[in-house]
A and B are shown apart, each in its own frame.
Chain A
Amino acid sequence: DQQVKQNSPSLSVQEGRISILNCDYTNSMFDYFLWYKKYPAEGPTFLISISSIKDKNEDGRFTVFLNKSAKHLSLHIVPSQPGDSAVYFCAARTFPGRLFSGSARQLTFGSGTQLTVLP
């Protein structure tokens, strides 16, 4: 049962245009969402996050939008650059309740979207 879904395995965008990566989730207990970027032969790198009490978080060229009613989040990259070409993972965390509850900081990842920015 995939609780975090990235339905597009790949996306190609022209340099300078907007890249929009989408992520859907099913668990209404998720309270914190993150996006990671992964280059080949490297570990994922944290990109940006958003708490469930917000609907938007912006950091430079990267903006994450959260639509709780639709259980949907998206990552916008504007303008896209060739160096942005990587696999992007969205991840979610369940509100822990207690600090050391079993799922306190466990992240559930989507399957990733390969973004290719064409020069």
Chain B
Amino acid sequence: EAGVTQSPTHLIKTRGQQATLRCSPISGHTSVYWYQQALGLGLQFLLWYDEGEERNRGNFPPRFSGRQFPNYSSELNVNALELEDSALYLCASSPAGIGGVSYEQYFGPGTRLTVT
């Protein structure tokens, strides 16, 4: 079974540009999560999509946005890039939860975004 895939592996942008990161969840998983891991920091929750809807977002400015497509893949867009946006962006997926049962999140390898 294929795991979570992310593209591109590396992305280099200049300040002020826009970046688009892509994620394909594990087959059968309907939830996609985005996390940012800046150097020396833990994973910071960015966004959660389920069934095409944004369910929750973390404490990030509106220039971080995304969407989930009908096939459950997802896109993260970062507008007006700033130097501090340089980080590893991780995508995770999980099956739909029923009755509040927790499911582990399965992570992709990440996209390393460098803003110069």
Contacts and interface: CB of A to CB of B under 8 A. Distances in A.
Nearest to A103: B56
A46 B109 contact: no
Contacts of A93: 102
A104 to B, nearest CB: 7
* Chain A residues touching B, range: 20 to 34
Contact of B99 (A99, A106, A109): A99
B106 interface: yes
Given A43-B107, A43-B108, A100-B55, A108 B45 contact: yes
B50 A109 contact: no
Contacts of A43: 4, 90, 92, 107-110
B104 A100 contact: no
A71 interface: no
Contacts of A41: 109
A65 interface: no
Contacts of B92: 43
Interface string B25-39: 000000101010000
A89 interface: yes
B94 interface: yes
B104 A104 contact: no
Nearest to A108: B45
Interface in A75-102: 89, 91, 93, 95-100, 102
A4 to B, nearest CB: 8
A110 to B, nearest CB: 6
Given A46-B105, A49-B104, A110-B42, A105 B31 contact: yes
Nearest to A32: B102
List the 4 shortest-distance A-B pairs measured between CB atoms, nearest first.
Answer: A43-B107, A111-B42, A109-B43, A46-B104
